[in-house]
Amino acid sequence: MLDEVAEGMASQGGSSTDRMRTAIDNDYVLNPPLFPPLAADGQLGGYGSSRPLRGFTKDGQLWYFATRAQELAEELKLDLTAAMQGLHKAGDIIKTEGNGRLQVRTPRIGGKQIRAYVFDLAEVESSEVDSETAQDLDRLAAELLSPHKVAA
């Protein structure tokens, strides 16, 4: 199934940067409960899903976990570093650590800091969901959540 998703997105064309941006936008727009708001006290507002978080929102920004970005890159058969450097050059990644690292440490969540990429939330929310990619992601999610899959 992952190969079909990657092939489908590759056949749609576009650079690895464009494909990664579309995948991140679609992931957020189609899965808002997995990106809850982060309160000043480090609590995630309204998060009640049994599925793992993919990021959070805070102060008009989307904090997209680096582990989720890596998963997307692998699913799409993209070089994560190249795709993210392209997003940074395009001005899509809006916060860095200033030492050339595109990932930043999140504010503390339950006492932990996690690596994430930071995007302008308004830009992500205003993107149009590509219906073909959305269908591919839905099929992939259904396969991954199948009761026949055993979590590692």
- Asked whether residue 119 carries a pLDDT value surpassing 70, the answer given is yes
- Asked whether residue 133 carries a pLDDT value surpassing 70, the answer given is no
Residue 127 phi/psi, 5° resolution? -70, 150
CB contact set of 23 (below 8 Å; sequence gap of 6+): 9, 72, 75, 76, 133, 137
Handedness of CA 122, 127, 128, 130 (dihedral sign): negative
Determine the pLDDT at residue 126: 80
pTM score of the predicted model: 0.74
Locate 58 and state its tokens. 């805070």
State how far the Cα of 55 lies from the Cα of 67, in Å rounded to an integer: 10
Query: For 81-115, how does the pLDDT look when each residue is reduced to its tens digit (9 = 90+)?
Result: 999 999 999 999 999 887 889 999 998 887 788 99
Locate 110 and state its tokens. 């339950």
Query: For 35-65, how does the pLDDT look when each residue is reduced to its tens digit (9 = 90+)?
Result: 999 888 878 876 655 678 899 999 999 999 9
